Amino acid sequence: MGINNLIREVGRISAFVVFLVLLKTSVIDFMVVSGVSMSPYLSDGELILVNKTAYGILNPFSDGYIVRCRGVEPGDVVIYPMNGRYVVKRCRGLEGERVEVSSENGYSLKVNGESFPLSETEYRHYKDVKAVPENMFFAVGDNISYSVDSRDYGFVSLENVRGKVFKLKKR
């Protein structure tokens, strides 16, 4: 193989690697679930597909979107970074939706017609909140007893959503 053929081959391989990196960072990704916070919908060790274009075109070089085409909807299972790792949770309330916090019969928070239990600390954090703030959403794991979610760390910025999660069918 001559030097020109070698240079062409290295160029092709490099272009393919760049294509794969852009595909993974901006379009589609596969990940493995770690934990039980989304059980029974997602199981620990299960392979998921992340559609990174579901809400727009992500900027592969920084946080946020280059273009947004649609918004997160209640019930969507999304992925976003939190405390240095990616988490998967279900959207339970969107910006502007009314939030009701109660201390009757234990602590609870109601958003979008659903009630979620709170600890006393979480209750104190949310007791004066009347609505989901602008450009934010309320995210909760399906396995509420084993989920660290918006009840613990607050509302999540819509700009932080990195994609919509889809369950891959088991064989």
Residues near 23 by Cβ (< 8 Å), separated by ≥ 6? none
119 — alpha (psi -120 to 50), left (phi > 0) or beta? Answer: beta
**Which residue among the candidates 24, 26, 37, 157 is catalytic per the annotation?**
37
d(CA 138, CA 117): 14
Q: How far is CA 125 from the centre of its chain?
A: 22
Radius of gyration of the chain (CA): 20
Contacts with 139 (C-beta within 8 Å, 6 or more apart), sequence order:
78, 80, 89, 90, 91, 92, 149, 150, 156
Please state the φ and ψ torsions of residue 111, each to the nearest 5 degrees: -140, 140
Q: Which of 43, 62, 89, 115 is catalytic?
A: 89
Q: Is residue 37 flagged as an active site residue?
A: yes
Query: Residue 14 catalytic?
Result: no
Report, as residue numbers or ranges, the catalytic residues.
37, 89
